[in-house]
Each structure stands twice: as structure tokens, then as C-alpha cells.
Amino acid sequence: MNTPRTTLYRDKVNGKVMGVCAGIADYTGVNALWVRLAMIVLVLAQGWPLLAYFIAGILLNKKPPHLYTAPDETQYWQRVRQSPKRTAREIRARMKDIDRRLADVETYYVSANPRLSQEIEQLR
């Protein structure tokens, strides 16, 4: 499941220094402010995260500008990255609901339209 939408990128558009914290925020769905504050606390407490930040800034690719076309799409892919199984269950449940509603519509039109019922029976 390593598609362009499930890959960690540097987000230079929303980033402050190299875009790593903004990229992590985009990837996880957490507000960038909280990621930046956590990074500052880690750097002050231990120091080595600063080195990891610059290494990530060098190794990560820039986020493509055309990656997401709508805010709903961004939220969807964040949910996919957080829990693919849960997202698949949600989609399956939506499809079952749509299928049930479509069956209700079909039942309504077939039962309310005797000519259509007769044509369907003739096809069987």
C-alpha cells in the first residue's frame, strides 16, 4: 500500500524550515502546531531529534502539489494511513447501505409498476 497518497512527504507549502513537521502533520492528521511543539520539546530534552529532522528533510521528497484535490480527500487518506482496516469497513458499510437503498427503490418501482413487473416476468 505504498501509493503516492500514503507516502510521507515534506510539505514545503505549509512548512516553516524544511517542511518535515508539516509533512508529519499532513501524514497523521494532527495539527502542525502540535507536531512543531513536540519537536521543540524533544530537541530541548534530548537534542538528537534535530539531527533526525535534518536527515528527514534531506531524504523525504517534496509533496506533489496535485496530491489532494479537496479537503475531504485529504481527510480520507489520513484515515486510510491511520487505520486501513477501519476505513475498508466504513466503505463496505456505506456500500451495503447504498445497495440496500437501491434494492428498496427497485422494489418500489417494480411493485408500483405492473407493466414493468410483467416485462420482467416475461424475461425470466
Same domain, residue pair 48 and 38:
yes
Same domain, residue pair 68 and 120:
no
SS3 124: coil
Same domain, residue pair 55 and 8:
yes
Nearest to 57 by CA among 90, 102, 109, 16: 16
pLDDT of residue 56: 84
pLDDT of residue 22: 84
Query: For the chain, what's the residue count?
Result: 124
**Of residues 96 and 114, more confidently modeled:** 96
Residue 111 has pLDDT above 60, yes or no: yes
User: pLDDT tens for residues 26-51?
Assistant: 788 788 889 889 888 988 898 788 88
Same domain, residue pair 53 and 87:
no
Mean pLDDT lowest for which of 1-5, 53-57, 72-76, 95-99?
1-5
Q: Which domain holds residue 90?
A: 83-124
Give the chain's mean pLDDT: 80
Same domain, residue pair 72 and 28:
yes
User: pLDDT tens for residues 82-94?
Assistant: 777 887 888 888 8
H helix or E strand, kind and range, residue 3: none
Same domain, residue pair 24 and 68:
yes
pLDDT of residue 106: 82
What is the number of structural domains in the chain? 2
pLDDT of residue 6: 64
Same domain, residue pair 63 and 10:
yes
Residue 108 has pLDDT above 70, yes or no: yes
